[in-house]
Amino acid sequence: MKRRISISALVILALAVAACSKEDTAPAEEPQVAEAPEAEAQTTESTVAATESLEVVEESAAEAEPEDQAIVLARADDPTAGRVWKFIDGQPYKRFPSTAGRWGSADKIEVTEIFMYSCPHCSDLEPFINTWAENKDPNIRFVRIPAMFNQLAALHAKLYYTEVFLAQTGKLKDQAAFRNMVFEEYHRRGNRLTSQTAIQRLFARVGVSEDDFNRTWNSFEVDQALRRAREMAINYGVASVPMIVVNGKYTTDAGSAGSYPKLIELIDELTVREGLR
């Protein structure tokens, strides 16, 4: 009996700490989110006066309606009303008090992952989020934003955006494979990538020349992306990773969802909700 209780306690503890925070000694608090007040039901009363007169219009005097006029159906104010959702607001996910901003334009629903290469939980989430991204709806934009909790994380953030822009210019042939290599180097080979030189050597292993690396590493595009990443992290109140933000409105993580597969289910449900609005 004692052993059964101990195993249950360990499972609960594992889910509670499935994130990398700014301070390892203290668990990160979830951002406080104000719940939207329920709209008060509006009631309307219609009364017909007993003395109201009716005007009789002969058929010949009535205006003719076009035969090909489209029939317009009444639409509910809230298209999500009546649907049964698996996840409840305030439990596995929270709503920002107001829209916290997005990386891209409003033409697509945006799903953002805030991560760090040095975070083991981000490495664990990688295969799940990659599979989801490969099969996502084309109307969904997937964005990654590196967190910069410390000097090493900031260096790795620069590594990430160098990787992104080298891939865009065709200098880095397989960004997904390179990303896996970075996680592998840090978490399994003990290569912490603590300097620009160490990072450049990693790019050289996949065929990126030193000149192409240096040009991109020191580029305006990388610096601008780093500035935006810092701004977005402030807007989202990032205190731990991996963290998921859906359309600048909802925030969640694997610990809140209960597991990585459930986190993917939650992302899908929230994107469906956004698509109905």
**Residue 73 pLDDT greater than 60, yes or no:** no
**Residue 3 pLDDT greater than 70, yes or no:** no
| pLDDT tens, position by position, 166-205 | 999 999 999 999 999 999 999 999 999 999 999 999 999 9
| pLDDT tens, position by position, 15-60 | 555 689 876 533 434 434 334 344 443 434 443 343 343 343 433 3
Rounded distance, CA 126 to CA 124, Å?
Answer: 6
What lies within 8 Å, CB to CB, of 124 at 6+ separation is 260
Q: How many CA atoms lie within 13 A of 100 on its CB side?
A: 26
pLDDT mean over 129-147: 97
Please state whether beta strands 243-246 and 109-115 pair in parallel, antiparallel, or not at all (unpaired).
Answer: antiparallel
Of the two residues 15 and 270, the one the predictor is more confident about is 270
Domains in the chain (CATH in brackets) are 76-276 (3.40.30.10)
| DSSP codes, 11-79 | HHHHHHT-SEESSTTSPPPPPP-PPPPPPPPP-------TTPPPPP--TTTSPPPPTTPPPPPP--S-T
Segment holding 96, helix H or strand E? none
Segment holding 92, helix H or strand E? none
